[in-house]
Amino acid sequence: MSENRLTNILVPVFAVILGIIAGAIVMIVSGYDPIAGYSALLYGAFGDRYYIGETIRQVTPYILAGLAVAFAFRTGLFNIGVEGQLIVGWLAAVWVGVAFELPKVIHLPLAIVAAAFAGALWGFIPGFLKARFRVHEVIVTIMMNYIALYVSNAIIRSVLSDQGFKSEKIHPTASLRSEFLQSLTDYSTLHYGIIISLIAAVVMWFLLEKTTTGYELRAVGFNQHASHYAGMNVNRNIILSMVISGAFAGIAGAMEGLGTFENVSVKAGFTGVGFDGIAVALLGGNNAFGIILAAILFGALKVGALEMPSAADVPTELVDIIIALIIFFVASSYLIRLVLMRFKKGGK
């Protein structure tokens, strides 16, 4: 293994360790017992079959949201709109799940494809504006998040809901729920979405690393001028990158709508999954395998945090502080790299 690759692995590991240590210091300063807090967090994430099932279920949309952010980032774009793309994907999946009665072998794939298409369409708009008019994708995708939130709320109220705040439950033929997986995990909300998310990670890796299209996308991300000089269609690749990124995010929404909740409801605010996907992608080094590991960590933190108030009298907000500290140390990776380089020189 090359030194550069080893350093790329060690940086996020040290970031997590430093984040956990800093979180323990915050607990001590705030008057809480960090050992009891972290013990409760671990038990809440992996303490029994039910908690393990809930953690894996939480990991599912995190993997897909992380892939969405990473795919755009690997091609030189910063997709802050994963949250909005997830919301429209969730809406589209549930709409298909409620509106049609079809055999499961058709209905479930159709609902997932609808979610991917909705997310891709929401990604196409900032991609087109970036390619055609050079409008920065960060500004557009942030605005598109709010449009997605309020337009989806309006559609739920006026089209999908009789009660005014949530849709009907999807038909069983469109559901990702699994009695087998639920029985294995003491009737948690675990569903088949985890398999889809792992397949999506393989698809991203294969597309970027093993195909001509992926090579062009990465080349455009490295240097648009050199790619144009080499004969690549830069504008087409910018749009394609955002479309594929949006499709991953839309499928993440489908996992929530078809698996976890089996409906869609009016939202007072963002789900947070899309924004957490940015942290997952950063911690995972924008690598498909790294994103899976980062999603497991974030899923464990989110689910395990629910046990902390009752078991250790530690507020769940401290987990958000730990996540923020981990992101801070990942963003400060230059300092970690500098320390590692000096440590290596000192050992010679």
pLDDT band at 346 (very low <50, low <70, confident <90, very high): low
pLDDT band at 332 (very low <50, low <70, confident <90, very high): confident
Residue 346, domain member (yes or no): no
The Cβ-side half-sphere exposure at 246, using a 13 Å CA radius, reads 31
- What does the block give as tokens for 183? 């029985």
Residue 348, domain member (yes or no): no
Query: Judging by beta carbons within 10 Å of its beta carbon (0-12, 13-18, 19+), is residue 201 exposed, middle or buried?
Result: buried
Residue 221, domain member (yes or no): yes
- What is the SS3 assignment for 162? coil
With CA atoms as reference, report the closest residue to 77 among 202, 204, 224, 276: 224
Q: How large is the average pLDDT for residues 112-136?
A: 97
Q: List the CATH number of the domain containing 71.
A: 1.10.3470
Whether the predicted pLDDT of 3 surpasses 80: no
The C-alpha atoms of residue 287 and residue 122 are separated, in whole angstroms, by 24
- What does the block give as tokens for 304? 């395990």
The C-alpha atoms of residue 52 and residue 190 are separated, in whole angstroms, by 9
Q: Count other C-beta atoms under 10 Å from residue 76's C-beta.
A: 20
Q: What is the tens place of the pLDDT at every residue in 194-253?
A: 999 999 999 999 999 999 999 999 999 999 999 999 999 999 999 999 999 999 999 999
Give whichever of 10-14, 158-162, 306-310 has the largest mean pLDDT: 306-310
pTM reported for the whole predicted model? 0.94
Residue 32, domain member (yes or no): no
Residue at 232: amino acid letter: M
**Domain that includes residue 266, residue range:** 59-309
| Tally of domains in the chain | 1
The C-alpha atoms of residue 265 and residue 256 are separated, in whole angstroms, by 11
Instruction: Provide the β-strand partners of residue 166.
Output: 265
Q: What is the pLDDT of residue 344?
A: 64
Residue 154, domain member (yes or no): yes
Cβ-contact 78, 138 below 8 angstroms:
yes
Range name among 198-202, 237-241, 309-313, 329-333 with the lowest pLDDT average: 329-333
Residue 315, domain member (yes or no): no
Residue 79, domain member (yes or no): yes
Residue 100, domain member (yes or no): yes
Q: How large is the average pLDDT for residues 116-121?
A: 98
